[in-house]
Structure formats: structure tokens, C-alpha cells
Amino acid sequence: MPAAASASVRPTRAKGEPRFPGGPQADPAGSHFERRIRSFQPRRSRVTAGQADALQRLWPAWGLDVDGQRVLDLAELFGNGRPVVLEIGFGMGEATARMAAADPDVNVLAVDVHTPGQGNLLSLADREGLANVRVGNGDAIILLREMLAPDSLDGLRVYFPDPWPKKRHHKRRLIQPEFLTLAAARLRPGALVHCATDWAPYAEQMLDVLTAHPGFANTQADGGYAPRPAFRPLTRFEGQGLDKGHAVHDLLFRRVPHGEGNDARSDA
């Protein structure tokens, strides 16, 4: 890659002008929905020239703003009727791209709010010819609740979400009973929910709430954590955690058939 492509860029633009015309919006859902406690904290980072180029070239075809204004036709979005897995929070997208490349018959809808990561994943998908990746920009709760039809997903991945370690911030954690009820309504029976974290207290919470939810069943006979499956690559963030001596916990749960366990389904 030329040196210029790796340099950080700070485009000059008029006040109110989009950062990337035709690219991801700064706040796609705007004020259409209630203000609530978010499980994510948008980060302001510089976008490299290569990431900016990918955002402007590829967003119109492979990007999606989570505006909550329509229900998606996933077959139309991907151009085929293959199974779709939702990944919430993909960082810089390296693991997402590797998993998409290893399983081209599965479509990956990857959503995040980190603009450099969005650009990086688009660049990786373009370079590797990954036609099975679409990048979502915005709040995953709005995506699930407003834009995905019941039983439309074949899997859910949540890798290394923000652990919000301070007790007063635990309410911001994504994996909560209410979130699981919403996700259950969008997952087909048999769909795999795969979570991973290197924060032990959060792993315990994940295990507790997934085990207690009637819509899911642990794939592990002992009811505990799963070994890291071969299909989940070692991420850069995970490597940093391992270097710090953190233990990584994987959780693999299946969506149970409708009616089993009297699972509460929400189409709200």
C-alpha cells in the first residue's frame, strides 16, 4: 500500500456537511426513537485514506444506515436467499472478514458505530471479494427491533462487547434478558448465538442470563462455557486480553423451537 494510503486524513467540510458524502450517516436513526441507555459509546478516531476511499466507493452498494424506517428484505440486500448471521460490534473487521471468507454460503450482516472499522471491513471485503458481507451503521437494538422480520436470522455473534466494568454501568451491558427476548424473536429455531468475552464477571452474567432465558439452550452438556470453536478466529482485541492474562470465555447457545420452554416472543 502506498504511504499516502496509510496516512490519516482530516477532510475539510462546511458545518453540517456529511463527513463522507454518500457514506454512513452520523446519526441515522436521528430523533425518531426514544432516548435510552446505550450499550455502546461511539468513538471518534481518525479515518485513514484507504478507509475513507472504501467508505465512499463501497458504502452505496455494501453499506446500510440503521435508520429504523423500514423492514429489510435480506434476500434483496444480499442478492440471494442464503442464511444470514448478524454480528454486533466487529471492531476493525478482521475476524469478520476471515469468517466470511471461510464460509461463503453464509451472509454476514455486521453492525457497528465505529467509522474507521466500517471503512476497514469494507476495504477487506473488497480486497478479498467477499460478496457475502454487508456493513450496518448504527444501533443494533433499532436494527433488531425495527428493521428485521421475525425468524429472519440464522445466527447472532457478539464478540468482546464493552464489559462496562463499573457496577453503576452494568445496566449498559448488551447481553441482558430484554435484549435476548428481542433477539429470540428474530432468530430461527436452531440458530446459534455465539458470545465471547475476556471479562470474567461479564462472562458470568452472560452465562446466567442465557441459561435463564427460555428461548435458548446451552450447547454444552455441562451447562458451562464452550471451548473456542475453530471457526472463530483469534482477534487482535482477544490477543491483547490474553497478553494481559485474561481468560477468554465462549458461550454457544441454540434458539429452541418455538413453543418449547414457553419462550416469550416479541415482535415489537
Catalytic residue positions? 162
The bridge status of strand 153-159 relative to strand 187-197 is: parallel
| DSSP β-bridge partners for residue 187 | 153
Burial of 138-159, coded b for 16+ CB within 10 Å and e otherwise, reads bbbbbbbbbbbeeebbbbbbbb
Instruction: Quote the cell numbers at residue 152.
Output: 429472519
Between CA 158 and CA 144 the distance in angstroms is 14
Summarize the chain as % helix, strand, coil (round to 5).
35, 20, 45
Between CA 7 and CA 256 the distance in angstroms is 48
- Residue found under cell 482477534: 235
